[in-house]
Structure 1
Amino acid sequence: MLDHTTTDAPQADTRTLDLDLAAAGVAGVIITWADNNGIPRSRTVPVEQFTAATERGIGITPLFAVFDSHDTITFDHPPLGTPSGDIRLTPVTDRIVHLAGQPAFAWAPGRQIAPDGSPWPYDQRTALERQLARAADLGITIRAGYEIEFHLSPADDTGDDPRPIYDGPSYGPAKMLAVDAFAEQLLRDLNRNGIPIGQLHGEYGPGQYELNIAPADPLTAADHQLLTRQTIHAAARNHGLRASFAPLVTPGHVGNGWHLHTSPSRDGDNLLSGGDGPAGITPQGAAYLAGLLRDLPAIAAITAPSLSSLQRLRPGYWSGAYTCWGVENREAALRLVPATPLLGPHHANLELKPSDASANPYLALTAVIAAGLSGIEDALTPPGPVQEDPATWTEQQRADHGIHRLPTTVQQQLDALLNNSRIRTALGEEITGAFRAVRTSDAGRATGLDPADIVRAYRWLY
């Protein structure tokens, strides 16, 4: 049960779990959550205190909700406007993993709750659970998965711009050979940590690599995203490397996207296939897509929220800079990956390109699912797919097709979010307010910095 795989131990069995963990050589359990900058935060408890942590939680400050990307605490959100108060962090025990790359430690995602044990309105995991309950009420099941791009440098590289571990032809075996021992450990550790992946390869940018996590229910997908980060960082450290998931690592280069794939189903049938719409999309699948397209600027404010994200979202870089969708169009912000005879109907999914590691994975999925469900409820119909690069069109051509550039400043992103009642309602006013305060603090910190300085400021945060 604790052989480096996810357990299915119920909450009530934590005392037995304590003993099992100790017998497996675990000294401590890392309880992790992600803040409103997408940065993982954690507490580690000795294994003998794990039962107590499960029953009573661990005290943490509520101000983690208003930490900005560089750990400045902003008091610009009045409900969290003082240093007073305490909340509890509890581990989700049925997701505990004995870490393959850190054998003295286990890992579990955390849930933030109020001191009396009631739900805390700033907990991002709870926001996602609300949307999953909404989907269930509509008879909709969502599957989600991530493509994760990351950069590798030698750990001792301390220059202004990192030296990539390999700078040669993209996608080839030589790029993988450069990280052969790391790749071997990473594949083994991911498998033992219970994270199924489809592939690992050298990506387009210098020192850039990518893996894709197999689709799962959205809560599991978000948990896997956090656990994959931990696994990659540990494997990199063990081989004298340093990993960065930052949206942009080097000025002027391609960035790291964490493309988010989702697919809605009803009664086991994928709504993105089996219909008579473009590429076989069904009317409800089209409505789901149209919901995302309608709310795309507000979604991107959540899924690509950092100043580094805004530099990554450029035309011509396959990052989805314009509000359009297309069938297998890698320049479209929403790329429909259709079913094929080879892969079958369940393969069809919708990829969100403007998504990266600075997004809290639970909030990213909350925003995407909320928009898609609203599209289904409103029976929306999307415009036709765009199969070209909209950056090559004139402004008038884009306007004729209702296509606009996604927000390019923090204020534009916040305006898109704050003026969107559907996404605000999904997040809740508490999270929305804290998120606004954090983004405003980040923007203020960047005043006077040039683009290269901003890239460097975010490089090792992720």
Structure 2
Amino acid sequence: MPRKETASTSTQSSVLKSTGTAPVQPPLTSLRGVSDWREAALWLRTRGIEDIECITPDLAGVPRGKMMPSSKFTSNTSLALPSALYRHTISGEYPDETASFRYEPRDSDLKLVPDLSTISVVPWETDPTAQVICDVVGTSGERVPYTPRAVLKNVVELYRDRGWRPVVAPEIEFYLVAKNDDPDYPLHPPKGRSGRAILGGQGYSIAGINEFDELIDDIYHFSEKQGLEIDTLIHEEGPAQLEINLRHGDPVELADQVFMFKRTIREAALKHGIYATFMAKPMQGQAGSAMHIHQSVVDIETGRNIFSDEDGSPSKEFFQFIGGMQHYVPRALVMMAPYVNSYRRLTPDMAAPVNNAWGYDNRTTAFRVPVSDAAARRVENRLPSSDANPYLALAASLGCGLLGIMKGIEPEPPTEHTANEGTIDLPRGLLEAVSELEGEPALAEVFGEEFIGLYAGVKRGEFETFMQVISPWEREFLLLNV
């Protein structure tokens, strides 16, 4: 029976251990989240909020929704969006129906249910404005299983059914690029405060970060106003490529934060006359952008990290989680690498794994086990790209690990040397990845057949749209030579 949707509660779990549900601040002082509608009305009134944006992620992770006056928001107004919202491609086309990809015959409404634990201000707006992330339900209040937030919640509940709580910590890379209104021209890094465009090879460079001090100050300021916590910020290898690390916690809460951080970073960049892009591979010859995911699992009752036994040694669940990732992540890769461009990042010699190997503190493997004590034992998935919908990427990564535990899958031996030499153990392109997703029955146990059919149909539609575009490479090498 479909689950009824309710507002989620924030949790501040730890990669080390569970700390339970975070205390909700009083509505007058809380930067993010309230407990009920009475507190929501008070929260909005004390801040003089005039408008509120009710948003939800579509399959691409793009915010969709409606804006309304705050007085209407608190008056039990029903919000609705058409079901076709989850059946169009990133470019707005609607693919043809297939046996597994179908449109709702009446294109009937889906309801938005605000999750009041996510309410916050919109700090870049000039008029007092708030935002709230919404769940999507059917007309009778039932969860719509193919929506991204529901897919992730279902995976988290599979863990909860076993008395466990998954804990994640995402790391999101992105590029700052000069404004470019013509897609036929390549992207270039912007000029920093020195007046010169920053070059590559600036990994962990403080000077590289200082080039964009004012922009970074705005990212921190905007984040603080929304109650979003940044753990660290570094400069990565690419020119004007940055990485933000988020604090560990509940998967739905962290997906919400990535969803909001992407919007925040883009808005901060636009304020300074440049773009921020989360494309997996925005510039030829430069490193791609990843969304690495650190994962552990805690026992709800005891707070113990189930990846470690009482004596501190790795548990069987730890190895089976890795075994599940090795076996199933290549088959679910399209949920972590969702576009044609994503597979340009997953190429040899470009600082991204092209394997399904695992190892201890080995960054050339897809699944890295960082150095830690027993309580902090975790697995880092280095395959997802930053263009992925965070809800779906987290669901895919956690779901594959859980399948490994459910089915008792043992991993291959850990890799002690460079894992990126030799054959590529992953799908090489979007269509191959879609076929892998459709062809693995076990993934339907975790994500649902309806979601897989819908998602695969949209991805095939995006590929067909891409195939209509003639690239500069084709004009360069085929025009006069064939």
TM-score by length of 2: 0.84
Give the aligned residue type for 1:270: N
Offset of 1:131 from its aligned partner? 1.9
- 1:356 aligns to 2:385 (yes or no): yes
Pairing partner for 1:425 from 438, 445, 449: 445
Offset of 1:283 from its aligned partner? 1.5
Pairing partner for 2:87 from 41, 66, 69: 66
- 1:125 aligns to 2:125 (yes or no): no
Aligned residue number for residue 354 of structure 2: 321
Instruction: Please give the alpha-carbon distance, in whole angstroms, between the structure 2 residues aligned to 1:56 and 1:419.
Output: 42
1:263-412 superposed matches below 5 A: 263-266=296-299, 267-273=302-308, 280-340=313-373, 345-393=374-422, 395=423, 405-412=425-432
1:155-190 C-alpha deviation (Å, 9 max, x unpaired) = 467571222124234021221121111111212322
Offset of 1:274 from its aligned partner? 5.4
Instruction: Please give the alpha-carbon distance, in whole angstroms, between the structure 1 residues aligned to 2:368 and 2:391.
Output: 21
1:364-387 C-alpha deviation (Å, 9 max, x unpaired) = 222222222222222322111112
Offset of 1:208 from its aligned partner? 0.7
Give the aligned residue type for 1:128: L
Q: Is the 8 A contact 2:358 2:366 kept in 1?
A: yes
Give the aligned residue type for 1:123: T
Pairing partner for 1:236 from 253, 263, 269: 269
Moved more, 33-42 or 293-302: 33-42
Q: Residues 275, 249 of structure 1: CA spacing in aligned structure 2 closer, same or farther, 3 A cutoff? A: farther
Aligned residue number for residue 162 of structure 1: 187
Pairing partner for 2:461 from 441, 448, 456: 441
* Secondary structure class of the residue paired with 1:5: coil
RMSD: 2.4
Offset of 1:292 from its aligned partner? 1.2
Q: Is the 8 A contact 1:38 1:357 kept in 2?
A: no
Offset of 1:268 from its aligned partner? 1.8
Offset of 1:4 from its aligned partner? 6.9
Q: Is the 8 A contact 2:173 2:386 kept in 1?
A: no
1:168-179 superposed matches below 5 A: 168=199, 169-170=201-202, 171-179=204-212
Pairing partner for 1:149 from 168, 173, 194: 173
Aligned residue number for residue 436 of structure 2: 416
Q: Is the 8 A contact 2:370 2:378 kept in 1?
A: yes
Aligned residue number for residue 163 of structure 2: 139
- 1:41 aligns to 2:64 (yes or no): yes
Q: Residues 140, 81 of structure 1: CA spacing in aligned structure 2 closer, same or farther, 3 A cutoff? A: closer
* Secondary structure class of the residue paired with 2:86: helix
- 1:7 aligns to 2:27 (yes or no): no
Aligned residue number for residue 15 of structure 2: none
Offset of 1:335 from its aligned partner? 1.2
Instruction: Please give the alpha-carbon distance, in whole angstroms, between the structure 2 residues aligned to 1:285 and 1:451.
Output: 45
Q: Is the 8 A contact 1:291 1:371 kept in 2?
A: yes
Q: Residues 110, 229 of structure 1: CA spacing in aligned structure 2 closer, same or farther, 3 A cutoff? A: same
* Stretches of structure 1 lacking an aligned partner (at least 5 in a row): 396-403, 455-462
Instruction: Please give the alpha-carbon distance, in whole angstroms, between the structure 2 residues aligned to 1:259 and 1:184.
Output: 24
Offset of 1:217 from its aligned partner? 0.6
Q: Is the 8 A contact 1:149 1:245 kept in 2?
A: yes
Q: Is the 8 A contact 2:34 2:40 kept in 1?
A: no
Offset of 1:219 from its aligned partner? 0.8
Give the aligned residue type for 2:415: V
Instruction: Please give the alpha-carbon distance, in whole angstroms, between the structure 1 residues aligned to 2:216 and 2:243.
Output: 11
Instruction: Please give the alpha-carbon distance, in whole angstroms, between the structure 1 residues aligned to 2:213 and 2:168.
Output: 29
* Secondary structure class of the residue paired with 2:294: strand
- 1:102 aligns to 2:133 (yes or no): no
Pairing partner for 1:112 from 136, 145, 154: 136
* Secondary structure class of the residue paired with 1:392: coil
Offset of 1:68 from its aligned partner? 0.6
Instruction: Please give the alpha-carbon distance, in whole angstroms, between the structure 2 residues aligned to 1:69 and 1:96.
Output: 27
Aligned residue number for residue 279 of structure 2: 246
* Secondary structure class of the residue paired with 1:89: strand
Q: Residues 2, 61 of structure 1: CA spacing in aligned structure 2 closer, same or farther, 3 A cutoff? A: farther
Identity of aligned residues (%): 23
Offset of 1:209 from its aligned partner? 0.7
Instruction: Give the number of aligned pairs.
Output: 434
More helix by share: 1
Moved more, 160-169 or 410-419: 160-169
* Stretches of structure 2 lacking an aligned partner (at least 5 in a row): 1-26, 191-196, 475-482
Give the aligned residue type for 1:50: F
Q: Is the 8 A contact 1:7 1:94 kept in 2?
A: yes
1:268-324 C-alpha deviation (Å, 9 max, x unpaired) = 2223345789xx532111111111111011221211121111111112223221111
Give the aligned residue type for 2:282: V
Offset of 1:95 from its aligned partner? 1.4
TM-score by length of 1: 0.87
Aligned residue number for residue 460 of structure 1: none
- 1:222 aligns to 2:242 (yes or no): no
Pairing partner for 1:206 from 239, 256, 271: 239
Instruction: Please give the alpha-carbon distance, in whole angstroms, between the structure 2 residues aligned to 1:204 and 1:117.
Output: 47
* Secondary structure class of the residue paired with 1:261: strand
Offset of 1:19 from its aligned partner? 4.4
